[in-house]
Structure 1
Amino acid sequence: MSRKIYIVAGEVSGDNHGSGLMRAINAHDKVVQFSGLGGSEMKKISESVRDWTDDSAVVGFWEVIKKYKFFKKVFEQVLNEIEDVAPDTVILVDYPGFNLRLAEAIRKRRIETKIVYYISPQVWAWKRGRVVRMAKVIDLMLCLFPFEVSFFEGSGLHAQFVGHPLSETLGPLRGKAKRDTELIALLPGSRNREVEKIFPILLGAADQIRKIMPEMCFAASAANRACAQKMKEMVKSSGVPCKVSVGESHKLMSV
């Protein structure tokens, strides 16, 4: 009998990490049934995962408030789906504002399932009080850094170090790539709001660098085609020569 896993990710980065985890699980268990919410990469692995990252990637308190009705509706839908599907395991990927509340709601409804949280919220840096909440509802925390496991010791939250996906992704790329000392990567983030606010600043910095070091070249990576189009328009307006690609941030970081 196949195991059922319900997985939730809410941003492009979470989609990338979630799809990597799904592939790793499939490598050990070919008959796992995935369903849930994520992005285009997770949907490639399972058609039962819905892509919602265009709507779910928000920055700041006010963006959440503006989309409150949307998030409330999705939250209730997801909770009902989990109750109906009755998965063996629920995997929550990052996205703590949504996912920690979801974990608590699952427990409140007394849905019998294991809850695994992948990529710990940075409670060691801020809002440490959340550790107590997390320990009450999460069965296993999968950590990217060894010190996070030590941080959770004694809290009642079982944590395990699984390594950072970038160490596996960038390592092989760096081995193959030819180093380009005259290339600077401009990486504003994956959310639309981040691009709108940060990319013009990065282009301004690039323009100043060109005045001092005219031999330097610039490249940027967008999370999706729509974002890339917006970035290309900004590049054109700035007058800074910068090549914009889609989904190549890891490649840019390796050269």
Structure 2
Amino acid sequence: MTGQAEKPLRLFILAGEPSGDRIAADLVSRLQARVPLQFAGVGGDALAALGLKSFFDMNELSVMGWADVLPRLPKLLWRARQVARAIIAAKPDVAVLVDSQVFNAIVAKQVHKRASEIPVVLCVAPAVWAWKPERAKALSPKFREILAVLPFEPAFMRGAGGPETSYIGHPATDAFTQRAEVPDTGPLMLLPGSREGELRRHLPLMRDVATALVGHPRVTGFVLPTPRRLKGRVERETSTWPVPVEVITGDERRGEALAASIGAVAVTGTVTLELALAGVPMVTTYVADKGQAKRWVRYKVKYASLPNAILDRDLVSEVLQLEPDPAALVAEVKSLLDAPDVVAAQLAGFSRIRDLMENGAEGEPRVDPAERILRYYPNK
């Protein structure tokens, strides 16, 4: 079944943001190591490095919240139709849609309606455990199966009546090594997100945090990692801040910052998992648009950050806001920097998270995502 197979596995893959691009690239590289692979779709730098020529710029899909979606809705719907038509025309052995939940749900629905024989797999489960659990059942007609990146999701999906779900781990688990200890002094990482709406809402908040903490005895400076495509924009905005901040890009620089930092202020999202796996104490925050805030209230969301959701307990602070409140966020960050016992508790929790991410939950072991996709390989 390996390199001697004559017929390639024909894969369509789509990723709509940097974290999904990394997950998709991990899957593609695993498949390339096992079988001849022919793939097409939409992705970013990580998939491009493996040979993908994206149909269009992946960043067109990187939106969150209705305030960001509504102005771009006509183009997003047009792109969804374009992708669905491409999948139907290509007749791949399997289509894997990574993250970008709303967009990919539209694509999958159209493919299922017009070509239900094409298996469509969703990689990265929607957060139905947080928002509207009844959505799990609605996923089954559109998706043959789900490849989950959080260890508790297979059991949740099974209980909620969702599609067959397997835990495949997360590339961040192998990409980050947890530190044994936290430095006494060092830079504070600022992580405002990478979507347009997130930057608009969180960069001013990060400015206020940096301004308030510039004299803290443990803080030697501020580092703000950002994707290369955003570096110019972020540098222009931070150049007007009353305190200096170093804007960095690239995995190597990011790794150096993770190793040297005393902590981080981060928007809730995948980055909080990466911080936990690297052993970086954190305070998480999010300034929601009105639509997001209404869903938080309606569905009584228990946890917004992934470390807390994975452990199902309060491990890291969550400062969730509708209107920016810098004072509340600064107070939480100061509490973290000034409380060694809180840092120690976070590090212990991060070790437990790493164990779950590496091995899976009890009864739901981590599986190789390539093996799940090879189920659809006609030469198997």
Same structural fold, with TM-score higher than 0.5 when normalized by the shorter chain:
yes
Q: Structure 2 matches for 1:1-255, cutoff 5 A?
A: 1-29=7-35, 31-154=36-159, 155=161, 157-171=163-177, 174=179, 181-213=185-217, 215-225=219-229, 227-248=230-251, 250-251=254-255, 252-255=257-260
Relative to 1, partners in 2 of residues 1:132 and 1:52: Cα closer, same or farther, differing over 3 Å? same
Whole-Å separation in 1 of the counterparts to 2:225 and 2:182: 18
Whole-Å separation in 2 of the counterparts to 1:238 and 1:47: 39
Q: What secondary structure, in the 3-state scheme, does the structure 2 residue paired with 1:145 have? A: coil
Q: What is the number of equivalent residue pairs in this alignment?
A: 251
**Where does the alignment leave 5 or more consecutive residues of structure 2 unmatched?**
1-6, 261-380
Relative to 1, partners in 2 of residues 1:129 and 1:215: Cα closer, same or farther, differing over 3 Å? closer
Whole-Å separation in 2 of the counterparts to 1:61 and 1:2: 40
Amino acid across the alignment from 1:136: P
Q: What secondary structure, in the 3-state scheme, does the structure 1 residue paired with 2:52 have? A: coil
Whole-Å separation in 1 of the counterparts to 2:58 and 2:249: 16
Q: How high is the sequence identity, in percent, across the aligned residues?
A: 27
Q: Which deviates the most, 77-86 or 230-239?
A: 230-239
Whole-Å separation in 1 of the counterparts to 2:86 and 2:184: 48
Q: Contact between 2:222 and 2:244, CA under 8 Å: does it hold in 1?
A: yes
**Deviation of 1:137 (Å):** 2.0
Relative to 1, partners in 2 of residues 1:86 and 1:78: Cα closer, same or farther, differing over 3 Å? same
Whole-Å separation in 1 of the counterparts to 2:254 and 2:75: 32
Amino acid across the alignment from 1:160: S
Q: What secondary structure, in the 3-state scheme, does the structure 1 residue paired with 2:133 have? A: coil
Q: Which deviates the most, 209-218 or 131-140?
A: 209-218
Relative to 1, partners in 2 of residues 1:149 and 1:212: Cα closer, same or farther, differing over 3 Å? same
**Deviation of 1:236 (Å):** 1.5
Q: What secondary structure, in the 3-state scheme, does the structure 1 residue paired with 2:79 have? A: helix
**Where does the alignment leave 5 or more consecutive residues of structure 1 unmatched?**
none
Q: Contact between 2:23 and 2:170, CA under 8 Å: does it hold in 1?
A: no
TM-score for both structures, normalised by structure 1: 0.89
Whole-Å separation in 2 of the counterparts to 1:4 and 1:243: 43
Q: What secondary structure, in the 3-state scheme, does the structure 2 residue paired with 1:7 have? A: strand
**Deviation of 1:250 (Å):** 5.0
Q: CA RMSD in A?
A: 2.3
TM-score for both structures, normalised by structure 2: 0.61
Amino acid across the alignment from 2:153: E
Whole-Å separation in 1 of the counterparts to 2:33 and 2:204: 42
Amino acid across the alignment from 1:6: F
Relative to 1, partners in 2 of residues 1:14 and 1:51: Cα closer, same or farther, differing over 3 Å? farther
Q: Which deviates the most, 157-166 or 110-119?
A: 110-119
Q: What secondary structure, in the 3-state scheme, does the structure 1 residue paired with 2:152 have? A: helix
Whole-Å separation in 1 of the counterparts to 2:193 and 2:11: 29
Amino acid across the alignment from 1:166: A
Whole-Å separation in 2 of the counterparts to 1:147 and 1:107: 28
Relative to 1, partners in 2 of residues 1:156 and 1:37: Cα closer, same or farther, differing over 3 Å? same
Q: Contact between 2:188 and 2:221, CA under 8 Å: does it hold in 1?
A: yes
Q: Contact between 2:185 and 2:218, CA under 8 Å: does it hold in 1?
A: no
Amino acid across the alignment from 1:224: R
Whole-Å separation in 1 of the counterparts to 2:23 and 2:187: 27
Q: What secondary structure, in the 3-state scheme, does the structure 2 residue paired with 1:153 have? A: helix
1:152-203 alpha-carbon deviations (Å, 9 max, x no partner):
12525111111122111102x858x995741211111111221222122112
1:68-121 alpha-carbon deviations (Å, 9 max, x no partner):
221122111111111111000010101111111211211111342222111111
Q: Contact between 2:138 and 2:162, CA under 8 Å: does it hold in 1?
A: no
Amino acid across the alignment from 1:38: G
Q: What secondary structure, in the 3-state scheme, does the structure 2 residue paired with 1:168 have? A: helix
**Deviation of 1:32 (Å):** 0.8
